[in-house]
Amino acid sequence: MATGYNFFILIALFILLIFAYFFMTCVLTIRLINHIRNKQQEKFISKWQDHIFGYLYSNLNPQELISRIPKNKYKYLFSYLRTFLFNLKGDDLDRLKQLITETSLREYFINKLNKHSRKKQVEAIYFLRFINTEEVVDLLVKTLKAPNELIFRTTVESLAYLSAYKNINLILDLSKKRKYLTKESILSMIIKFDQSICPILTKRLETEKSTDIILVIITLLWHFKYADALKNILNILFYSGNKDLIIESIRYLGEVENLDSVNALRFFLSHSKPEIRVAAIQAVGKIGDTSLEENIIIKILDPELEVKIEAAKTMYKFSNKSEYKLLEYANNPSGQIESIIAKRIIMEKRILEND
């Protein structure tokens, strides 16, 4: 029986060795492939770098340069171009874009959109963002319906680069249907648009039912400091019972200074939930409205520790009056929690200021 047991142990070890060998072979193969690619990329750069830079600072027709580069070297060209498209600005960037917009590469990328290779599709979608035409925008909008996440994200980013803000509602509608997209990932895509999307997003707040999408919209509106959405945000603030929506709306108020914002914040400083009181204190600190100074000072006596700490932080930077009051608490020898908090905040702030 022991012999049989040992036999199974040997079989198990043999299988583990095979898996280990297979894994190491895969790793070494991948490294070898990457090494070969890097060498090929270096070889391409050494041969074509001077030609590309020469093109940038000459009157050479962009098609003349592209015609000289073999198609089987395009992948190295595109990798090289992406680096400079990120780093160049002004006339140099415009000149580089002409290699895509005014050459055969334009049709090359359009044709790649229909390929089965996801890698080639993503590459095409990325470079098409530099061709600002209705045709390209329409092609990219169709690509939004692709099931692949990377294709979807890259398409949204390309549409943002092209300022195709009129498609923002479609993008949000499709985002809601994709279960793998969180509100954070949706936000990371949409935030690449500019503030032209704000009127559309504000209008959408009137009908949107998804809490995640509403949170994304409010975040975008305060990111762009879009004051015209104040009425819509106040409606959400006072009629929504969702804690996250209330907190995000309060953050918006902190970015948009307005009398209605101040009155709303005064109300939410006394909210029953400490997280909301904290958010209101932070917003008041950003606005810096002195009419709420006494409301902030008294919050250091709040029963919740997190509220006390946030009130102390805001008092330190609010005004000379509130800072002096914080010093009074710090110098109080009673050892009360407010005194301890005040001392810690003052010490931390001064250390940061002296760094």
pLDDT tens figures, 295-310: 999 999 999 999 999 9
The residue extents of the domains of the chain are: 76-193, 194-287, 291-355
| Residue with the two structure tokens 């009629």 | 239
For the chain, state the CA radius of gyration. 29
Instruction: Give burial (CB, 10 Å; 0-12/13-18/19+) of 186.
Output: buried
- Cα 328 vs. chain centroid, distance in angstroms? 42
Across the range 186-201, mean pLDDT stands at 95
Model pLDDT, residue 308:
94
pLDDT tier for residue 187 given thresholds of 50, 70 and 90: very high
Neighbour count for residue 38 (Cβ, 10 Å):
10
Model pLDDT, residue 74:
86
pLDDT of 213 above 60: yes
**In angstroms, what CA-CA distances link 301 with 230, 294, 305, 311?**
31, 12, 9, 9
pLDDT tier for residue 82 given thresholds of 50, 70 and 90: confident
Positive or negative, the CA dihedral 226, 232, 238, 240 is: negative
Neighbour count for residue 235 (Cβ, 10 Å):
13
- The architecture CATH gives domain 76-193: Alpha Horseshoe (1.25)
- Selection from 137, 105, 138 nearest residue 124 by Cα: 105
Evaluate whether the domain defined by 291-355 bears CATH number 1.25.10: yes
pLDDT of 79 above 80: yes
pLDDT of 175 above 70: yes
Across the range 42-68, mean pLDDT stands at 86
Model pLDDT, residue 3:
60
Model pLDDT, residue 39:
80
Model pLDDT, residue 63:
92
pLDDT tens-digit series, residues 7-42: 677 777 777 778 777 778 877 777 877 777 778 777
Q: Which two tokens stand for residue 194?
A: 């500019």
- Selection from 139, 187, 129, 188 nearest residue 163 by Cα: 129
Average pLDDT over the chain reads 88
Q: Which two tokens stand for residue 206?
A: 């009137």
Report pTM: 0.82
Model pLDDT, residue 227:
93
The larger pLDDT score, comparing residue 83 to residue 312, is at 312
Strand, coil or helix: 59: coil
- What's the rounded Cα separation, in Å, for the pair 324 and 8? 77
- The architecture CATH gives domain 194-287: Alpha Horseshoe (1.25)
The larger pLDDT score, comparing residue 88 to residue 326, is at 326
Across the range 86-110, mean pLDDT stands at 88
Across the range 212-241, mean pLDDT stands at 94
pLDDT tier for residue 222 given thresholds of 50, 70 and 90: very high
Q: Which two tokens stand for residue 111?
A: 């044709």
pLDDT tier for residue 58 given thresholds of 50, 70 and 90: confident
Element of type H or E holding 9: helix 2-56
- Selection from 57, 54, 85 nearest residue 68 by Cα: 54
CB of 98 within 8 A of CB of 134?
A: no
Instruction: Give burial (CB, 10 Å; 0-12/13-18/19+) of 93.
Output: middle
- What's the rounded Cα separation, in Å, for the pair 347 and 333? 16
pLDDT tier for residue 5 given thresholds of 50, 70 and 90: low
**In angstroms, what CA-CA distances link 30 with 19, 39, 156?**
16, 14, 31
Across the range 332-336, mean pLDDT stands at 79
Helices 134-143 and 118-128 meet at what angle, rounded to 10?
Answer: 150
pLDDT of 86 above 90: no
Model pLDDT, residue 191:
95
Across the range 198-205, mean pLDDT stands at 97
- What's the rounded Cα separation, in Å, for the pair 174 and 201? 15
pLDDT tier for residue 288 given thresholds of 50, 70 and 90: confident
pLDDT tier for residue 44 given thresholds of 50, 70 and 90: confident
CB of 78 within 8 A of CB of 125?
A: no
Model pLDDT, residue 7:
65
Model pLDDT, residue 259:
77
Same CATH fold assignment for domains 76-193 and 194-287: yes
